[in-house]
Amino acid sequence: MLPRAAAEAQNVRRRLESELQQATSYAAANFARDMLAIKDHLDRALVAVSDELRQDKVASQFLAGIESTSRELESVFTRHGITRIQATGEKLDPHRHQAMVELPSTDVEPGSVIEEMQPGYMMKDRLLRPALVGVAKKPD
């Protein structure tokens, strides 16, 4: 009876250690998810800038600051195991992609991602946010 109780205590201890390790690893997931919105806003701001505005001296300095902030945020994500999900060109994976629209295409196999509307991210092996994508379908 005593060896059985010792084995049970050992199992409980291992389970608690595992749960503590997972809680520690993923404690920042909610914060990271919130930071993704900031990254999205920075990226949209940079895409919206015209070539003409990029040639302006004052505006180009402002844009350099935005680009630097975006790169630093990417660096922080990398240090904490946050990676962007590859979407375009991949087969639709419902565990990583969320199909928003089906688009007729003869260029790629139906079910392939042909457009990324919003990037998705993983934190280590957990999904933070699925990529919002457009998926190819056979033309009508």
pLDDT higher than 80, residue 123: yes
How many other C-beta atoms are found inside a 10 Å radius of the C-beta of residue 43?
Answer: 15
pLDDT higher than 80, residue 1: no
Query: Domain limits of the chain?
Result: 1-80, 82-140
Write out pLDDT tens, residues 44-91. Answer: 989 998 888 889 888 889 899 999 999 999 999 999 899 999 999 999
Q: Is-contact 66 45, C-beta < 8 A?
A: yes
**How is residue 99 written in tokens?**
């199909």
Write out pLDDT tens, residues 8-26. Answer: 888 888 888 888 877 776 7
Q: Any idea what the Cα angle at residue 125 is, between residues 111 and 114, rounded to 5°? A: 20
The fourth-level CATH superfamily of domain 82-140 is: Head domain of nucleotide exchange factor GrpE (2.30.22.10)
- Mean pLDDT in the chain? 89
Task: Answer yes or no: same fold for 1-80 and 82-140.
Answer: no
- Residue-level pLDDT at 118: 94
pLDDT higher than 80, residue 2: no
- Strand arrangement, sheet containing 113-118: 97-104, 131-137, 113-118
**Domain spanning 1-80 has what CATH number?**
3.90.20
- Burial code (b: 16+ CB inside 10 Å, e: under 16) for 97-116 equals beeeeeeebeeeeeebbbeb
- Residue-level pLDDT at 124: 87
Residue 74, classed as helix, strand or coil, is helix
Specify the pTM. Answer: 0.75
Cα gap 25→39, rounded to integer Å:
22
